[in-house]
Structures are given as C-alpha cells and as structure tokens.
Chains A and B, each alone.
Chain A
Amino acid sequence: MKRAFIAILKRDLALAGRAGGGGELALVFFLTLVVLVPFALGPDLNLLSRIGPAILWLGALLSVLIGLDRLFQSDEEDGSLDLIRASSLPLELAVLAKGLAHWLTTGLPLAIASPLLGLLVALPGEGVLPLVATLLVGTPALSFIGAGGAALAAGLRRGGLIVPVLVAPLTIPVLIFGVSAANAALGGTVPFLTPFLILCAISLAAIVVGTMAAAAALRSAE
C-alpha cells in the first residue's frame, strides 16, 4: 500500500516535470499576473506595498486554480484512473498522493518564488518571511479544496473552466486569513499568529475534507 502511494506521488512529480506537464506553467502565470498589476495601478510605491500581500495571494490563488482541471481528468481520459481504482490502495490515499504531488509542483514553487515577486510590488523587508510562511501553509488548502472540485469534473469531457469557477468561492476563507496574516506582519492591531493559526487549521481541515470529497466524487463518477 505504501508502495502504491509512493508510486502515484512519484509518477505525478515525474509527469509535472516532463514536457507538457504544466509544472512550471503555474509559476510563469503567477509571475505574469504579479508583473501586470503595477502597470495597472501606476508607480505609487506606497499603494503597491500596502496591497502587495493581497496581490501576491490573489496571484498564487489564480495560478493554482488554472491547472486544476487536469488533476484527475487526464487520468480519467487515458484510463490510468481505472488502474488506480484497481489498486488495493484506498482511493482516499490515492487522492492524497495526487494532491500532495500537485502542491509540491505548484504551491511550493509559488511560495518559494514569492520573495522575488515581492520586490515587484515593493513589499517591505519585514513582510517577506511572513508572506512566504502564509503561502507555504495556505497553498495546501488550495490544492486539496481544488482536488474536490477537480474530481467532480473528472468525467466531463470539456470541463475546462468549470473547476476554477466551482473551487474559487470555496477558497475565500483561505484568501481572507492568508492575506490578513501577511498584512498583520506589516503592522496593525492583530498579532500575526492569530490569523496564521486559523490559516493552518483551514489547511489541515481542507486536506482531510478535500481528500474525502474527491474520493467520493471519483467513486460515484461511474
């Protein structure tokens, strides 16, 4: 069972790295979004640094959402989901492996790249580490809430934009507490830890609920 879990994780990581895997696409999309925002808002550095965490969080959220529809759909199309269903590994753990691989190839690179992109929105130095921390603990929630939505659309031939539309409203709490934690580090009355711990809790809950929901959706998609 452990072997099957690691096999799914390893395969998804390998696929993301190969040509057409889309592993780096989310990162490039993130970069594009964050680069565009200062052009739209103008050269007001005070404004940019005040809304910087929000821009980075929105960028990260959208970057995670764009690639989500392929999470289960590609496996359903080529029949490898049948292979995973035929395993003795519970479908919940298979989803966990796929969600983990998704986070490692999208959420984690986004969090690592965010200090660099923080420069583009004039993020103050003391806000960089808290921002990375919030993205690091917040993006797993996005991957796993997204897994639930992606599993629902797995059987749809032309799912396309339905997954982001389905998932985006569910990510609002993640966005609220992610941005408020990142902002709290830049000053204000709320201590950093309060929203940050809530964000951690949301992430942990999303991993459990998203995994169960996705497995249930994949089971009934027959």
Chain B
Amino acid sequence: MVEGVGGSAVLRQDSFPPTRLLAENLACRRGGRLIFEGVSLSLAPGEAIALTGRNGAGKSSLIAMLCGRLRPDGGRIRLEGGDEDAPLTEISHLVGHRDGLKTALTARENLAFAQDVLGDAAASPEKALAAVGLPHAAELPVGYLSAGQRRRVALARLLVSARPFWLLDEPMSALDTASQAMLAGLMQAHLRQGGAILAATHGPLGLDGARELRIGP
C-alpha cells in the first residue's frame, strides 16, 4: 500500500544511526499551573508513539520539549546511541499547528527553503510534492492553496530533509481520507527506514505497531 502513493520511493535509502530518544519524568508548567508531570517515554528506531489526551493536556508542549523548543520544568530528555551528542533541534522534524509556510512563496520555494535550512537533503522538492499528491501545485503560491493542501505541503517537508525523529502535532487535521492514507504510507516507510515517529492525535494514525501514550487525566 505504501508503494502505491510513492512513499518509500522518495525516501533516502540509507537508514538512520540507531539513536534512541529518552525522556524521564518530564513536567510542564504553563503560567504557574502544572500541566503534566512524571511523563516518561522512550522512542527507538522503527517505533511509533501515538500521543493522546484531552485538549489542554499538554500534548503540544510535550512535543515542543522533545524537539528542543521548550525547556522542561522537570525531568530530562536525552539521546542514547548513534547521534548521542546531536542537539535535539537538529535530529527532529516538527510539523505543528502552524504550517511554517510563507504564503507569498510557491510550494517549491517553501520546500527548497526548508531543505536548505534544515540540511541533510533527501528528496527534491518536486519529488516530495509528488509524494504528497501535489505535483501540480509546485509553482503556485501557497496562499492560493486550501488548508488541507497547505498541510500536505508542510508534510512534504518531512521528505526533503532526512531526520530520524518525526514529531507531528495532529498531522491528520484538515486532511481528507485519501491524504490520511497517504500520510500513513509515508510514516510506515519512515519507520522501515529506521526512523521514529511521535504523533499527537485524536483519531487513528493508521500505524499497526504504534504504542499509545496518554497524558493528563
């Protein structure tokens, strides 16, 4: 099913160094209020975690901590094996609520920018756009695309630059069912390459081996 959407074809063939992401007893405070504490997780190559919890449980904050954007208010995050000394910001991809796209630039320009800035070039912007089913949108300014199409351009960023950890914050939002299957295919291909995924979600991810991590009450 993956090959059908071109998922594995565009990914780099060599796999990632065997790095594990470990988080121990993380705590998060927002405006003096404790959002969560005692959250631990381990993410090894080939593993996927579905992060669940009610609205406001701290899913986005946890993802921000794991990608090095937010300092934990307790506990620690470390890497083990492989790229042990790499900064957290440089080994993970973040696709969050904000798409990180410039509406005045075309989809291709946005992806080329992401590739240059993130480094570790993998698929070309054109190939990545084809993999998310938007080959025709390459030369269109992103401002002309719909919310779902923008989300797919943002997801194409996962393919233009090869990073082992994909941290996705509700990646399925705004996607239609065909695009959700496409994303599931891309995620499976990434896991087979030795990558790892943590995705905050309210619905099924379409990944068979995904563990569920529930935070908050």
Asked whether A and B interact, the reply is yes
Residues on A close to B: CB < 8 A? 3-4, 6-8, 11, 14-15, 18-21, 77-80, 82-89, 222
**CB–CB B69/A222 < 8 A:** yes
Partner of A78, one of B92, B102, B118, B157: B102
Least Cβ distance of A156 to chain B in Å?
16
How many residues of chain B have a CB within 8 Å of chain A? 30
Taking each of B93, B97, B101, B119, which has the highest tally of chain A beta carbons within 10 Å of its own beta carbon?
A: B119
Residues on A with C-beta less than 8 A from B69 are 82, 85, 222
Residues on B with C-beta less than 8 A from A77 are 98
**CB–CB B96/A79 < 8 A:** yes
Instruction: Tell me the dominant secondary structure on chain A's binding face.
Output: helix
Partner of A88, one of B90, B99, B112: B90
**CB–CB B114/A19 < 8 A:** no
Shortest Cβ distance from B87 into A: residue: A88
Instruction: Check B207 for interface membership: any CB of A closer than 8 A.
Output: no
Given contacts A83-B118, A86-B118, A87-B117, contact A11 B94 (CB under 8 A): no
**CB–CB B104/A86 < 8 A:** no
Residues on A with C-beta less than 8 A from B157 are 83
Residues on B close to A: CB < 8 A? 64, 67-71, 89-90, 92-94, 96-105, 109, 112-114, 116-119, 157
**CB–CB B113/A7 < 8 A:** yes
Shortest Cβ distance from A76 into B: residue: B98
Taking each of A15, A20, A21, A83, which has the highest tally of chain B beta carbons within 10 Å of its own beta carbon?
A: A83
**CB–CB A19/B104 < 8 A:** yes
**CB–CB A14/B105 < 8 A:** yes
**CB–CB B116/A85 < 8 A:** no
**CB–CB B117/A7 < 8 A:** yes
Residues on A with C-beta less than 8 A from B100 are 78-80, 82-83
Q: How far is the CA of A120 from the CA of B89 in the complex (A)?
A: 52
Q: How far is the CA of A84 from the CA of B116 in the complex (A)?
A: 10
Given contacts A78-B100, A82-B98, A222-B69, contact A6 B105 (CB under 8 A): no
Residues on A with C-beta less than 8 A from B112 are 7
Residues on A with C-beta less than 8 A from B116 are 3-4, 6-7
**CB–CB A21/B104 < 8 A:** yes
16 A-B residue pairings within 8 Å (CB atoms): A4-B116, A4-B119, A6-B116, A7-B112, A7-B113, A7-B117, A11-B102, A11-B109, A79-B97, A79-B99, A82-B96, A83-B113, A85-B68, A85-B69, A87-B117, A87-B118
Least Cβ distance of B153 to chain A in Å?
12
Q: How far is the CA of A20 from the CA of B112 in the complex (A)?
A: 21
Residues on B with C-beta less than 8 A from A82 are 69, 94, 96, 98, 100
Residues on B with C-beta less than 8 A from A3 are 116, 119
